[in-house]
Amino acid sequence: MRQSSVITGLVPLALSLGFATVAPDLPSITLRKASLVQFPGPTDCNSPGHWDGGTFYLWNSAPIPLRSSGRDLFHLGVPKESSYHNTVSGHRWIEATYKEENGPLYGWYHNEPRNVCASSSSLTAPRIGAVLSNDNGATWRDLGFVLEAPRDSLFCQTKNHYFAGGNGDFSVILDTRREYFYFFISTYHKDPSEQGVAVARMRFADRNDPVGKVWKWRQGNWEAPGVGGQVSPIFSVARDWNRLDADALWGPSIHWNTYLNTYVMLLNRAIDKDWKQEGIYITYNSDLSRPGDWTAPKKILDREEIVAVPKMGPGWYPQVIGLDKDERETDKLAGRVARLFVHGKSIWEVVFRKPGEEPE
């Protein structure tokens, strides 16, 4: 493992693979080796966190949601199971949260219903639901499903190891104007033109009654319904998710970076039906209402660097967690220096640099 990785250049993965001209007006990062920090619970998705007073709360799901808490990221206690007030088909992974100051905690989960294909008991098609908690996530009240793929979009003859369709593997962030929650989702439609990473949004005012209030971005407009609507991916697949040699970005994790004054998103890249990790990518956008403004993703970690970390597993689920307690930084908010986690483990500090700023 290198002591430091300086990330420059621009390596896009959208409709096709290739190289683009280096853009000097974009931010960049340096990865610095650091002591190991590991999430307290098993990790099988994005792990959201929030502050309440002087306590930091973190969720890990695999798939049972486990909540840990402590005085900061480095001092989290033993995780305890978080429970729901109702049941649904399949498990629910808590992948995103939003804590209202002096108010409730909102969450969103990835659900994998059973028996979506008569031809296979193992395939599923994820969907996304909303929950609310008045006890910092010890228990959750389900608010219903807010994002699902069209019913006719399943492909049960897929070569994919896990999914025959669906919307899932996501993160959520409230924009800086507090107008909309933005959902960045992975899509597994049978039509490759609707596969990749897509976006939807919901008005902040609709957070307590969200069903039917989420709208997907489709052909330049926010008019496709969250449940059953089609999408126009912001990052399309390079090869169909249903092929043996699938090639796709997925699993977006987003935060607002106060040092760069822009949003930063990390992505996985799968290169076969078993979701073999090729690397981790980064992209930037200062205005979430303009999905076409995301920069072409560039690689920040290669597969070899990831698998060199002991017990890293498949090396999925990259995310940034901010370190400044005074600024109440989390997985959704970070500054110049933060921690980079992959599959619940961090041996890297990530240092963000403004355009033209030299590495340390």
Contact call for residues 173 and 183 (beta carbons, < 8 A): no
Identify residue 113 by its one-letter amino acid code: P
Q: Distance between CA 7 and CA 28 in Å, rounded?
A: 6
Ranges of H-type helices in the chain: 303-307
Q: How far apart are CA 277 and CA 270, in angstroms?
A: 5
Does residue 24 have a pLDDT over 90?
Answer: no
Per domain, the residue ranges of the chain are 4-353
Strand 333-334 to strand 345-353: parallel, antiparallel, or no bridges (unpaired)? Answer: unpaired
Average pLDDT over all residues of the chain? 93
Look at residue 360 in the predicted model and tell me its pLDDT: 74
Confidence tier at 119 by pLDDT (50, 70, 90): confident
What does DSSP say about strands 333-334 and 318-322: parallel, antiparallel, or unpaired? unpaired
pLDDT, residue 13, reads 43
pLDDT exceeds cutoff 60 at 1: no
Q: What is the CATH number of domain 4-353?
A: 2.115.10.20
For residues 46 and 169, give the distance between their C-alpha atoms in angstroms, rounded to a whole number. 8
CA angle 95, 96, 97 (to 5 degrees): 140
- Residue 186: pLDDT band by 50, 70, 90 thresholds? very high
Task: Quote the CA–CA distance of 322 and 332 in Å, as a whole number.
Answer: 8
CA atoms within 13 A on the CB side of 247: 9
> Parallel, antiparallel, or unpaired for β 214-218 and 221-225?
antiparallel
Cβ(276)–Cβ(343) below 8 Å: no
Task: Compute the average pLDDT of residues 277-300.
Answer: 97
Name every residue whose Cβ is closer than 8 Å to that of residue 88 and which is 6 or more positions away in sequence: 111, 113, 129, 142
Its sign, for the CA torsion 350, 323, 106, 180, is negative
